[in-house]
Chain A
């Protein structure tokens, strides 16, 4: 089955700890994205990558870091510098087409709770 997997589904951490969220895709997509979903705020873009070994900050990158060493994988680290890390995190992927946008495909999400 082709798709995007995110693990774990639920994650609990103590304040002050860094935590890494996994995102893997087998759709052969070049582009991958990380969003944060909070009630009443929709999805906000954290980071995105359109090619291996390259990534760009989204609208709310502060306190987060990413890497893109492999096409299939785009892990997100929530650092202790993120002031409000408790949220639902969604990973997405898409092909890259220069003429216009294409739809993004989403994973099931990871719900992170930091106490």
Chain B
């Protein structure tokens, strides 16, 4: 079945460590890609998105993601995490030819130790 996979379910890092969260999808064709974040007690909000163009996308709060078409991946990165980055992170894909739907990965819980 076509899907979106996030490899890490729970990640624990110390402050200032670098972060990379994996996201792979199995849809062929043109896709649109998103990373959302859910901070404790807050709404799910958009971190960044890729529609076309430069495959390296920069988002809010120092996050970036790289779209690698040949690997069907859209990994999220941050060079130096902060305690305030503790949250749940979701990768989402808009499948080809469907402008409405988003298919979400399972989510990754990031815990940053001060």
B43–A101 touching, CB < 8 Å: no
Tell me the smallest distance from the CB of B5 to a CB of chain A, in Å: 10
The residue in A45, A58, A104 that gathers the most chain B C-beta atoms within 10 A of its C-beta is: A104
Residues in B with CB closer than 8 Å to A63 are none
Q: Number of residue pairs across A and B with beta carbons under 8 Å?
A: 60
- 1/0 per position for A36-70, CB-CB distance to B under 8 A? 00001111110010100000001000000000000
Q: Chain B interface: which size bin?
A: 20 to 34
Using a CB–CB cutoff of 8 Å, the interface residues on chain B facing chain A are 4, 6, 9, 32, 34, 36, 42-46, 49, 51-52, 90, 92, 94, 99-107
| A21 interfacial contact with B, CB 8 Å | no
- Decide: A98 and B104 in contact? CB cutoff 8 A: no
Cα distance A99–B11 when bound, in Å? 36
